[in-house]
Amino acid sequence: MNKLAISKFRLFHPQAISIIMLVLFFASCNHAQENQKSVKVGEKFVIELPSNRSTGYSWHYIPKDNSLIDSVKVSYETPQNGATGNLGIETWEFIANLKGEESLLFEYKRAWEDVEPAQTHIIHLKID
C-alpha cells in the first residue's frame, strides 16, 4: 500500500473522526460560554459539560469564598461506545443554601499545567 492510501485510511479511522469532531466542537465555542439558571433555596441542581478526559483535559469548578452553594458530587460519564477520544459528560451536583445571585466559574484545563484554561464556562445562578 502506498503512503497516500495509508494517509487516506488514517484520516477516516474512527478515532481520527472523533478527534476532528472534538476540534470542531471546541472551535465552534467561544472561549467563555455563559448560561443562566434559577433555583430555590434547598434545591439540588446539576451542571453538565462536555469533556474529553482522554486528552488530559477536564473541567474544574472554581469555588468562591462565602459561596451560596455547596458542591455535592462530581462524576464523569464516558462515551457510550467507549472509544478513546470521544466526548463524555462531566456532571456536578450542587445544593443551593442561601438566597442571592452568584456566578459559577468552570475552567477546562489540565490540572498539572500552569497555563490559562483552554475554555471557561460561567453559569449565572439566581437563588430564590
Specify the DSSP class assigned to residue 22.
H
pLDDT of residue 23: 46
pLDDT of residue 29: 47
Q: Which of 13-27, 31-45, 53-67 has the lowest mean pLDDT?
A: 13-27
pTM: 0.72
Measure the N-to-C terminal CA separation of the chain; round to a whole number of Å: 66
Residue 91 has pLDDT above 90, yes or no: yes
Residue 109 has pLDDT above 70, yes or no: yes
Domain ranges, ordered by start, for the chain: 31-127
Q: Which CATH number among 2.70.98.10, 2.60.40.2020, 1.20.120.80, 2.40.30.10 corresponds to the domain 31-127? A: 2.60.40.2020
**100-109 vs 58-62, strand pairing mode:** antiparallel
Residue 28 has pLDDT above 50, yes or no: no
On average, the pLDDT of the chain sits at 82
Arithmetic mean of pLDDT, 100-114: 96
Grid cell in block for residue 70: 455547596
